[in-house]
Structure 1
Amino acid sequence: RIDRAFICTDFDCLLGNCRLSALERVESDHCPIMIEWGFEERLHRYWKFENMWFLDESFIANTSEWWNCQPRGVGDLFLFGQRLRMLKEKIRKWNKEEFRKVDVRIAEILAEIKMLDGKEEDGPISVEDRSRRDTLKYDLDKVLLMEEVAWRQKSRENWLKVGDMNSRYFHGVVNHNRRRNFISSLKFNGTPVEGQSALKAAFVEHYSAVFKEEKKVRPFPASYGGVTISDCERNSLVRQFSEEEIWMAVRKCRGDKAPGPDGFSLEFFKKCWDVIKSDMLKAFEDFFIKGELPICIAHSFLCLIPKKESVIEVKDLRPISLIGSVNKIISKVLTERLKPIMSKLISGNQFSGIRGRQIHEASLIANELVDSRRKSGKPGLIFKLDIEKAFDNVNWECLVKIMASFGFPPAFQRWIHGLVSSAHLSVLVNGEAAGFFKIGKGLRQGDPMSPFLFNLVMDVLSMMLERLRVAGLITGFCMDEGNRRGEVTHLLYANDTIIFCDADEDQVMNILATIICFQTVTGLRINVEKSKMHPIGSVDNPDRLAAMFGCGWSYLPTVYLGLPLGASPNSVSVWNPVLTRFQSRLEGWRGKFLSLGGRLTLASSVLSSQPLFLGSICKAPKSVIGKMEKSLRRFIWSGVQDKGRYHLVNWQLCKALKKEGGLGILDMASMNSALLSKWLWKFATEKEAWWRKMISIKFPNPSSLWKAGQIDGRIGCSLWKSIAKEESCFWKFAVVDPGGGAWVSFWQDRWNHGMTLGESFPRVAAASALPQGWVSEFVSFSSERGVSWNLPLILSLRGGLKERGVIYWISCQTFLLVRFHVVLAGLCGRRVQELASLYAQCTNACVARSFREWRISRSSQYGDRRFLRKLMDLLGCSFIIALLPMTI
């Protein structure tokens, strides 16, 4: 990796298909480096719809004419696919004969403008020539925009919008991606294969074997034991497809994603919906009846994405399916029907693809479990499982049986089985399609439905592990290890599985036996060689335990779901991977291709993606924030992050909001604090969430349902302790709406738009016999009667406070014997006419002081006594009697 060749950005734009290779070493320790270009074979890449065609005013009208002139039939899916194919031929012909290549049109316009400019140098030109030149300039701007749209679509860069003339940047991204994805040679089972033809044959043979099902019939438990869906939910799943439902599914799909074999992007269906919608509805009616897809619709491409920088073997590639547009729309419609019931069906341990659950919740629970187990001193084990080719090995018959056990209607089962079993694949090798074969198992990555179906399959493992726990065959980690409360045996995020158990050989064998049963039932395979065991505490025999499971082992900390597990959240080292990715996204070649506005957009995009994933659950140290902001400043002003340049504007002003005169760059420290505070908001609002119940067990707070309990002791690897530090800042801006008051603490929650009552009246709260009482125990809210204070407030007061309340009540009736002059001498020296004035007017009296604190103003139309009586009628006599004397 130390032998390198350097090229300039102009060379990259001009000869983007160059390739770097190392020659044999002869005398030196270094390899000679050779750069080649023009080496690519003539590849037959498949046709793709260009979104730039929509910028031509005649395209929509032409599409409508081409679509409607085609022969119509019964309107089934097969005919719809054939009409798309014929439309593709019409568009291809139009592009070649009328629209033509964009670079050719740009060259022609520039040549004509140059001719007119030269003509003007020789003498005055006519009005017609001037008008023609203005028209050409307008056409040039339009064609340049088309070019930018085309390169952006090829680059798949979604953070930067068109319109800033960043074609050069998009071109550089395309060249960079092509070099990274190009496969010149690869090893298959240890045998190197070179050349496009040989690679195509090898890939087809490999993936034909991967998707071939060896055991079509697999055992399945007679009783699954999961929840079932209701009759109303069943009817909703199999209702007729409507135009609105299909249109909403089309709108939710991104229009610039890579298309499937038909070549049409989803942007085409969005822009031409009025043209094709009637035929699309007929195609959905055909699927509703038959429940299967014809080959022209079910055909998909297998796109190979490198998992790492250097691709050596076929396992270093990730296969992603590019499914056809109609197939994707059908799958999206069924997915939208399935989404609302997934949270009911899937256990709380699964955090992927379920509405209302997030990846950070799994990391939070895992770290809290590890923290509790460490502090208990009891040894334990963590197993991180690696599921080999997870989506590719799902058995279809098992999937249908799982759906039947959940109570899915037979029609919906038939639709799902038809979608997954009708798939045919071709492999894209360097952009060229190879082979055509039917698959016998697996779910296609890239299908909107696949993550949800995979969750149904993984729930079988969750059910098996839960049964082991109930039977006492394994013991998980607990949030409250002392009382064995909040026990968790496993966490799932799609195929990322982590299992917790005691450091016991029997438990390890029970887990291994369960995994074998799971593999037999579902077809999924656990790669034990890539799986890992992590001991916690004093484990006597980690080597033996790992050997029994067949995996390696290492001590914590480790990484789970891309986030630290078992590490101190305050450690700078957990941010090192983030800093590496952050700096790689601000590579120098990107800055040189971008305008200042483009660099600003990229900087904002990187700042809002890379560090905020970890920043959503860990507090970023000041040194880390300083390094990231330094790289950002240099990248924005100079285009590179390792070379300084004069900063034209103060950085604090750059971070200011645009409406305040700034550039709107995110303040990392403030955003980090806001993301951590969001957990406090989620804790207060998501009362039924599984993660919240776990946190409440570890940090109980009986006096409030909106806040977790107080946290004592050292932080360890607890993430919630870092989150809880934001509580004081969060509750300055958050107010609890009491509603009926049944779940709002009277003293501890901030429900009165100020400080909590416990903070405002600490002596009263300390004297109350109900220090953990709810608002509903003190106050009644009624639409007819308004607010009324309840008797338990008075009865809860202790000792002399109750006696002083009675004295105050007597004084309000002016029956209390008192020497006014003595009182005046001891207080403010002002003359009062009656006893009520003593409470209402005297600046040193606690009643008047309370009025000021509560912002209660006395109306001039009332005397002092009438004002106090009016206040008693408004707030309730018992409240005035009980509360005001206690502030003395």
Structure 2
Amino acid sequence: MNFLSLNVRGIGEDAKLKCVRRLKLQHNINFMGMQETQLTNYIAINVNGCWDSTEMDFDGFNSSECSGGLVSIWNTRKDFGPRPFKFFKSWLSVEDIDQTVVKAWTECNGYGLTDAYLAAKLKYVKEVVREWRKNEHMKEVQEKEIIKDSVAEIERVAELWVLTNDELLVRSNGLKRILKLKRKNHINGLRINSSWNTEVKDIKEDAFKFFQNKFTERWNSRPKLVNSRVKTISVMEAIHIEDPFTVDEVKDAIWDCGGDKTLDPDGLTFKFIKRFWDVFRDDVMKVVWKFEETGTLSRGCNSSFITLAPKSKDPTTLADYRPISLIGCIYKIISKVLATRLKTVIESVIDEVQSAYVEGKLLD
């Protein structure tokens, strides 16, 4: 947790409020204490102007004789632990993202086997982009403040006379931009034991118990399928599916994946992979060919995260969330290439009357 202590003169001025807010953002402050010698009514201060979100609370004391006034502000956002990295497609439109990624990729040497080497380079690129994003975020905050001031001025004018079409357009675009720059994705609370609970510790414990029960194997042994008349592929088909994977085949598999689907544990989407394919291509192909030779991935290269997707607009219990496994891009690329290769021979082992799970056929 980061603390900031300030002795500010003229805390009620807009310029001072913006300066304090800028310091809060730059140093990721969780608790701030401010002293003002002439602070006679701390309630009258625009405390929200010192913070970058509404998830905050404050308290204070007015000045008394020789003692200055004090105001304390703290973050009320629930801390569920480190937030995973997420790469948003809008970042690809920023001017210097290409240079940042290419530079990070070329200067990182990596280590280990081919798949671990690629994972290490992607991790390094992620960290570099994370730092780059911090600087870009500061620019967005400044942009949002300018837009908010512009919209506030238009709102003031609207009380005096009817707005022109140009003013209405500026107001509309400004509000849309502010909403776009303001993202939230977290659990505010859950109904636990028939009562609403917002305590982070209780929510974590309830989530652990709930999904531990869901993912517990209830059967010590399962029945096995024994059938000597299962269809098999021909010798020529077997030779075909074992042909070495080509660059075009891997590229087609990647391009066939949705660019904006759920993020991987590394926080990167396929739109990101496609954008920098010429940079990543050689290292990705080494991983695919190594897997083709050994049939294995290094430990950690096929790890996954579990995220919770709400089933409804207003989820109140863990049963209202659907667990989704987020797997890394290395695993996705290899599985997609294998699936595409199997498609070429799958008709040989599927009965002609089967309609389920066959491309181009529908269930009756």
TM-score (norm 2): 0.62
Q: 1:48 to 1:233 in 2, by over 3 A?
A: same
Residue in structure 2 matched with residue 537 of structure 1 by the alignment: none
- Equivalent-residue separation in structure 1 for 2:120 and 2:111 (angstroms): 11
Deviation at 1:340, TM superposition (A): 3.4
- Counterpart pick for 2:143 among 96, 102, 106: 106
What amino acid does structure 1 have at the position aligned with 2:190?
Answer: S
Q: 1:310 to 1:229 in 2, by over 3 A?
A: same
Q: 1:215 to 1:63 in 2, by over 3 A?
A: same
What amino acid does structure 2 have at the position aligned with 1:341?
Answer: V
Q: Does 1:67 align with 2:123?
A: no
Deviation at 1:244, TM superposition (A): 1.0
Deviation at 1:291, TM superposition (A): 2.1
Q: Does 1:195 align with 2:199?
A: yes
Residue in structure 2 matched with residue 325 of structure 1 by the alignment: 329
What SS class does the counterpart of residue 121 from structure 2 fall into?
A: helix
Deviation at 1:110, TM superposition (A): 7.0
Q: 1:110 to 1:356 in 2, by over 3 A?
A: closer
Q: Would you say the 8 A contact 2:89–2:271 is kept in 1?
A: yes
Deviation at 1:351, TM superposition (A): 3.8
Q: Would you say the 8 A contact 1:187–1:314 is kept in 2?
A: no
- Equivalent-residue separation in structure 1 for 2:144 and 2:319 (angstroms): 45
Residue in structure 2 matched with residue 96 of structure 1 by the alignment: 134
- Equivalent-residue separation in structure 2 for 1:90 and 1:16 (angstroms): 29
Deviation at 1:63, TM superposition (A): 1.6
Deviation at 1:56, TM superposition (A): 3.0
- Equivalent-residue separation in structure 2 for 1:316 and 1:108 (angstroms): 36
- Equivalent-residue separation in structure 2 for 1:318 and 1:349 (angstroms): 33
What amino acid does structure 1 have at the position aligned with 2:227?
Answer: S
What SS class does the counterpart of residue 303 from structure 1 fall into?
A: strand
- After the TM superposition, which residues 729-878 of structure 1 pair with which residues of structure 2 at under 5 Å, given as runs? none
Q: Does 1:233 align with 2:241?
A: no
RMSD: 3.9
Deviation at 1:290, TM superposition (A): 3.0
- After the TM superposition, which residues 478-493 of structure 1 pair with which residues of structure 2 at under 5 Å, given as runs? none
What amino acid does structure 2 have at the position aligned with 1:185?
Answer: L
Q: Does 1:219 align with 2:223?
A: yes
Deviations 1:465-508 (A, max 9, x none): xxxxxxxxxxxxxxxxxxxxxxxxxxxxxxxxxxxxxxxxxxxx
Q: Does 1:345 align with 2:349?
A: yes
Q: Does 1:248 align with 2:285?
A: no
- Equivalent-residue separation in structure 1 for 2:246 and 2:306 (angstroms): 31
Q: Would you say the 8 A contact 1:76–1:286 is kept in 2?
A: yes
Deviation at 1:209, TM superposition (A): 4.0
Q: Does 1:52 align with 2:56?
A: no
What amino acid does structure 1 have at the position aligned with 2:187?
Answer: F
Deviations 1:508-541 (A, max 9, x none): xxxxxxxxxxxxxxxxxxxxxxxxxxxxxxxxxx
Residue in structure 1 matched with residue 286 of structure 2 by the alignment: 282
- Equivalent-residue separation in structure 2 for 1:224 and 1:168 (angstroms): 63
Q: Would you say the 8 A contact 2:191–2:197 is kept in 1?
A: yes
- Equivalent-residue separation in structure 1 for 2:146 and 2:313 (angstroms): 42
- Equivalent-residue separation in structure 2 for 1:79 and 1:321 (angstroms): 24
What amino acid does structure 2 have at the position aligned with 1:81?
Answer: A
Q: Would you say the 8 A contact 1:298–1:323 is kept in 2?
A: yes
Deviation at 1:310, TM superposition (A): 5.4
Residue in structure 1 matched with residue 262 of structure 2 by the alignment: 258
Deviation at 1:237, TM superposition (A): 2.8
- Counterpart pick for 1:168 among 153, 176, 179: 176
- Equivalent-residue separation in structure 2 for 1:357 and 1:333 (angstroms): 22
Deviation at 1:279, TM superposition (A): 0.8
Q: Would you say the 8 A contact 2:265–2:328 is kept in 1?
A: yes
Q: Would you say the 8 A contact 2:301–2:328 is kept in 1?
A: yes
Residue in structure 1 matched with residue 70 of structure 2 by the alignment: none
What SS class does the counterpart of residue 296 from structure 1 fall into?
A: coil
Q: Would you say the 8 A contact 1:255–1:267 is kept in 2?
A: yes
What amino acid does structure 2 have at the position aligned with 1:182?
Answer: I
What amino acid does structure 2 have at the position aligned with 1:62?
Answer: T
Q: Would you say the 8 A contact 2:247–2:285 is kept in 1?
A: yes
Deviation at 1:352, TM superposition (A): 4.2
Q: 1:236 to 1:207 in 2, by over 3 A?
A: farther
Q: Would you say the 8 A contact 1:77–1:294 is kept in 2?
A: yes
Q: 1:335 to 1:192 in 2, by over 3 A?
A: farther
Deviations 1:805-836 (A, max 9, x none): xxxxxxxxxxxxxxxxxxxxxxxxxxxxxxxx
Q: Does 1:204 align with 2:242?
A: no
- Equivalent-residue separation in structure 1 for 2:96 and 2:181 (angstroms): 31
- After the TM superposition, which residues 137-536 of structure 1 pair with which residues of structure 2 at under 5 Å, given as runs? 168=176, 171=179, 178=185, 182=187, 184-187=189-192, 195-215=199-219, 217-223=221-227, 225-308=229-312, 311-347=315-351, 351-358=355-362, 362=363, 365=364
Q: Would you say the 8 A contact 2:254–2:274 is kept in 1?
A: yes
Deviations 1:570-610 (A, max 9, x none): xxxxxxxxxxxxxxxxxxxxxxxxxxxxxxxxxxxxxxxxx
- Equivalent-residue separation in structure 2 for 1:334 and 1:284 (angstroms): 10
Deviation at 1:208, TM superposition (A): 3.6
What amino acid does structure 2 have at the position aligned with 1:96?
Answer: K
TM-score (norm 1): 0.28
Q: 1:236 to 1:268 in 2, by over 3 A?
A: same
Deviation at 1:265, TM superposition (A): 1.2
Residue in structure 1 matched with residue 20 of structure 2 by the alignment: none
- Equivalent-residue separation in structure 2 for 1:313 and 1:92 (angstroms): 33
Q: 1:17 to 1:242 in 2, by over 3 A?
A: farther
What amino acid does structure 1 have at the position aligned with 2:361?
Answer: R
Deviation at 1:348, TM superposition (A): 5.6
Q: Would you say the 8 A contact 2:102–2:279 is kept in 1?
A: yes
Q: 1:166 to 1:330 in 2, by over 3 A?
A: farther
Deviation at 1:318, TM superposition (A): 1.8
Q: 1:203 to 1:294 in 2, by over 3 A?
A: farther
Higher relative contact order (CA 8 A, sep 6+): 2
Structure 1 stretches of 5 or more lacking a match?
Answer: 1-13, 19-37, 114-143, 145-163, 366-888
Deviations 1:834-860 (A, max 9, x none): xxxxxxxxxxxxxxxxxxxxxxxxxxx
What SS class does the counterpart of residue 306 from structure 2 fall into?
A: strand
Deviation at 1:108, TM superposition (A): 7.8
- Which region of structure 1 is more displaced relative to structure 2, 83-92 or 289-298? 289-298
What SS class does the counterpart of residue 227 from structure 1 fall into?
A: coil
- Equivalent-residue separation in structure 2 for 1:39 and 1:353 (angstroms): 48
- Equivalent-residue separation in structure 1 for 2:315 and 2:189 (angstroms): 10
What SS class does the counterpart of residue 298 from structure 1 fall into?
A: coil
Residue in structure 2 matched with residue 474 of structure 1 by the alignment: none
Deviation at 1:282, TM superposition (A): 1.1
What amino acid does structure 1 have at the position aligned with 2:98?
Answer: I
What amino acid does structure 1 have at the position aligned with 2:341?
Answer: R
What amino acid does structure 2 have at the position aligned with 1:87?
Answer: V
- Which region of structure 1 is more displaced relative to structure 2, 330-339 or 340-349? 340-349
Deviation at 1:16, TM superposition (A): 8.8
Q: 1:65 to 1:101 in 2, by over 3 A?
A: same
- Equivalent-residue separation in structure 2 for 1:300 and 1:185 (angstroms): 25
What amino acid does structure 2 have at the position aligned with 1:316?
Answer: D
Q: Does 1:87 align with 2:91?
A: no
- Which region of structure 1 is more displaced relative to structure 2, 305-314 or 223-232? 305-314
- Equivalent-residue separation in structure 1 for 2:243 and 2:174 (angstroms): 47
Identity %: 26
- Equivalent-residue separation in structure 2 for 1:298 and 1:329 (angstroms): 11
What SS class does the counterpart of residue 344 from structure 2 fall into?
A: helix
Q: 1:74 to 1:300 in 2, by over 3 A?
A: closer
What amino acid does structure 1 have at the position aligned with 2:106?
Answer: N
Q: 1:226 to 1:78 in 2, by over 3 A?
A: same
Residue in structure 1 matched with residue 9 of structure 2 by the alignment: none
Deviation at 1:255, TM superposition (A): 1.4
Deviation at 1:167, TM superposition (A): 7.6
What SS class does the counterpart of residue 101 from structure 1 fall into?
A: helix
What amino acid does structure 2 have at the position aligned with 1:59?
Answer: I
Matched length: 273
Deviation at 1:262, TM superposition (A): 0.5
